Amino acid sequence: MSAVLAAPAMGHNGGPALTPFEVSRDEIDALCAEARHWLEADGVKSQADADGVSKLLDLLRKAIKRADERRVAEAKPHDEAKAEIQARYGALIQDNKSGKGRAVLAVEVCKAALTPWLERQEAEKRAAAEAARREADEQARQAALALQLSKPSDIEEREHAEDLAQDARRAAAAAGRAEADRASARGGTRAVTLRTTYRAEVTDETAFARWVWVNCRADLSAALAAIASRQVAAGVRAIPGVAIHEERKAV
């Protein structure tokens, strides 16, 4: 079994000094090569082998720690610059759990001001659309009745029925346009309209759980598995309906 390799010193080959990343890269590459030797061998056969692998594991852990420290040091100026940029722009446009920028707050103020007006306009348009639909339905009924009562031999009656049918079709088209019309404010490139959203509130957990059991079994199973995992990780060892499997691995 090959010996554990030490990391080459910075600038050891007489060339330009290695960067912190290159130091970690060379150090970890050498240790990974040693780890591959253990994979290709027959495994640990003696206490000496076990101690050798343990030493390699210790070197790898320390190399990882040094690499992470170098990463943090190298990234620090960039992180600080990014944080400063984020803070400057955040004051203007941030919109997350940490807060809202001035522009986002102004957008919310505009929407709050528009919403009552849009709601009134929408109510008026819906009332007009319903009236237009009732009128169209009534005209269609009258046209159908006129056609039914007209004599095939009476041209005037048939023409009258056809005129009523034409009026009914025009009324139906007008009702369709009224139903498609929505309240909006169009002062910019994008119209502001009302959007309907729905928010769920569980008022009967038992009834909802029964519904989920029938309709969303996979989601419920995933949620139960996550709860069981948290409980077992917290040290609970007796949970009805849960099998706890003991696993061992080197740490």
Confidence of residue 249 (pLDDT cuts 50, 70, 90): confident
Q: Which residues pair with 99 in a beta bridge?
A: 96
Domain end among 140, 163, 185: 185
Instruction: Provide the β-strand partners of residue 193.
Output: 184
Residues 173, 109 share a domain: yes
pLDDT recorded at residue 7: 52
pLDDT tens per residue, range 47-57: 998 999 999 99
Secondary structure E strands in the chain: 95-96, 99-100, 184-185, 192-193
Q: Are residues 134 and 157 located together in one domain of the fold?
A: yes
Is 110 found in the same domain as 89? no
Count of domains observed in the chain: 2
Mark which of 42, 70, 93 sits at the end of a domain: 93
In angstroms, the CA 108 to CA 192 distance is 12
Please indicate, yes or no, if residue 244 is contained in any of the structural domains. no
What would the pLDDT profile of 119-163 be if each residue is shown by its tens digit? Answer: 999 999 999 999 999 999 999 999 999 999 998 888 998 999 999
d(CA 94, CA 86): 9
Q: pLDDT by residue (tens digit) across 153-193?
A: 889 989 999 999 999 999 999 999 999 999 999 988 899 99
- 168 within some domain: yes
Is residue 131 domain-shared with residue 168, that is, in the same domain?
A: yes
For 58-82, how does the pLDDT look when each residue is reduced to its tens digit (9 = 90+)?
999 999 999 999 999 999 999 999 9
| Residue 250 pLDDT class (50, 70, 90 cuts) | confident
Could you list the residue range(s) of the whole structural domain that residue 161 is in? 105-185
Please determine, for residue 237, whether its predicted confidence score (pLDDT) is greater than 80: yes
Answer with the one of 93, 122, 156 that is the final residue of a domain: 93
Whether residue 66 is found in the same domain as residue 30: yes
My answer on whether 80 and 119 are in the same domain is no
Residue 99 belongs to some domain of the structure: no
Same domain, 38 and 79: yes
In a domain, 181, yes or no: yes
